Structure 1
């Protein structure tokens, strides 16, 4: 059992595969309540929502949490997307009879969008929570500095996240500051440059999305502008897409005082689609 520091979040996990050099680590929840569906989450080190969601796997990106590699460093977005593909393959192989949905949070949201644009045929749904989908996440001067340093000093810190902006709940902020698995240093230049370059392509890329889509953002988020979430929703080609904007909520939607409303929306969205997909699969096999 892996005891999590975050409030109300105790994760019962299965074996954690040892990560390769610079690689990732995955955890599998054992509190499976909805056998019709499987949720895979890509959200950096923050897997604390895992215990609250049905049949969930969670990924630590390279450089985060229990994964190896320089802290906070995304050396290439292609590597991060490849990691998610391996992660999806692991989850799908263990539960081949269940439709798989991918949840991406914050920078993990940018990675999840990039993954879906390449491999959406592997997914039955894409869920985005406070996704980094707008260049406004970093000031123009910070992006220029990141691009200048990315090749010569890739681990040089160029951007800092203020923990007080993650949640209105002081206990969550305190837990974030104290959790040894959370990277709290300056974001490396290469990470900022890689994420920014990826985000630049979203406006032109997301119309190609066809997978069912749930986009969630807090209007009070000052870490990742909610305008990026609105853009993804507006431009996505998915016939089945839903936007949930939570008035005044900060970045960590699943750790705000209103968390149960957010989680209720997630589980309702998943329930509606996993049941429909289960019925569709039965009809096709009849």
Structure 2
């Protein structure tokens, strides 16, 4: 397995850190989009499993995240539309770098929401989409007043820290929580107002257009995920126009299913789903 690292200058001059893992003869390719606050190097088990079945894996540290954030991660970005442009450009590079093989998209958490929005807005040619704990619906009980206030705070004080997520809810394995908290490239402070509002806009768009989703899709979510709402995955699974759609809910699962108690089963579900479509 060959590991490649490089950078990409986005449409607005933002420089993004890219990396890829290549088997000797790729029979498929996948673009992986990480979640809020984290970075692309946190997917070692998934990368290893996918490369073992003959797939090339490409990924990047998003705007304000990981090695793409100068001076340390902030989780800040101006617009989720910019993020979608990054995904579109990089998915194009994936297909040109490994031509003539099926290309897949994978997104976790915020990355899952971004991938879903990308599919709806850009209609890419992809063999399939895997959405892990995708950010598709706001938390239950979110007040309309809070949503309205978020818009104004986002405009007036875009970098104000407004929402702290509970890192103890990423996994039922204490060691995984500690690894997350001790990772210098993970941003675990309160989320900037602009980032939060842009993600709210993204989830609203996905819910409104879910019936237009046509690609084969696998949605996985833990029933005890308090960081992204499992009902979002259920909404997309119910409304998607795709004739090939699968929803797997893992009973008791927390947010990072790939780092939780059911991780081996989750990896098996993902790999078998992909293999059936190559």
Tell me whether the two structures share a fold, i.e. TM-score over 0.5: yes
Structure 1 runs of 4+ with >6 Å offset: none
* 2:69 paired residue number: 68
1:108 pairs with 2:111? yes
The CA deviation at 1:265 is: 0.2
Q: Aligned pair 1:125/2:128, yes or no?
A: yes
Find the counterpart in structure 2 of residue 39 from structure 1.
30
For the residue of structure 2 that corresponds to 1:177, the secondary structure is helix
Partner of 1:53: 50
1:74 positional shift: 2.3
On the 8 A contact 2:26/2:98 being kept in 1, the answer is no
Instruction: Give the Å deviation of 1:33.
Output: 7.5
Could you tell me which residue of structure 2 aligns to residue 79 of structure 1?
82
> Which residue of the other structure, out of 10, 16, 20, is the alignment partner of 1:24?
16
Residues 199-243 of structure 1, C-alpha deviations (whole Å, 9 max, x = no match): 112222121111110001000101111000000100011110111
Give the aligned length: 263
1:1-286 → structure 2 map (5 Å cutoff): 13-17=3-7, 21-30=13-22, 32=23, 35-44=26-35, 45-47=38-40, 48-49=42-43, 50-54=47-51, 55-68=56-69, 71-136=74-139, 139-140=142-143, 142-274=146-278
CA distance in 2, matches of 1:33, 1:149: 50
Deviation at 1:192, TM superposition (A): 0.9
CA distance in structure 2 between the aligned counterparts of 1:161 and 1:152, rounded to whole angstroms: 22
Distance 1:104 1:77 in 2: 14
Determine the C-alpha separation between the residues in 2 that align with 1:133 and 1:204.
10
Aligned CA distance change for structure 1 residues 137 and 184 (closer, same or farther; 3 Å)? farther
Q: CA deviation at 1:12?
A: 6.2
Give the 3-state SS of the residue equivalent to 2:7 in structure 1: coil
CA contact (8 A) 1:146 1:189 kept: yes
Relative to structure 1, is the Cα distance of residues 138 and 155 closer, same or farther in structure 2, using a 3 angstrom cutoff?
Answer: farther
**1:51–1:126 CA distance, 2 compared to 1 (3 A):** same
Unaligned runs of 5+ in 1: 1-10, 275-286
The CA RMSD measured in Å over matched residues stands at 2.0
CA 1:257–1:33: 2 relative to 1, 3 Å: farther
The runs of 5 or more residues in structure 2 that have no matched partner are: none
Post-superposition offset of 1:114:
0.9
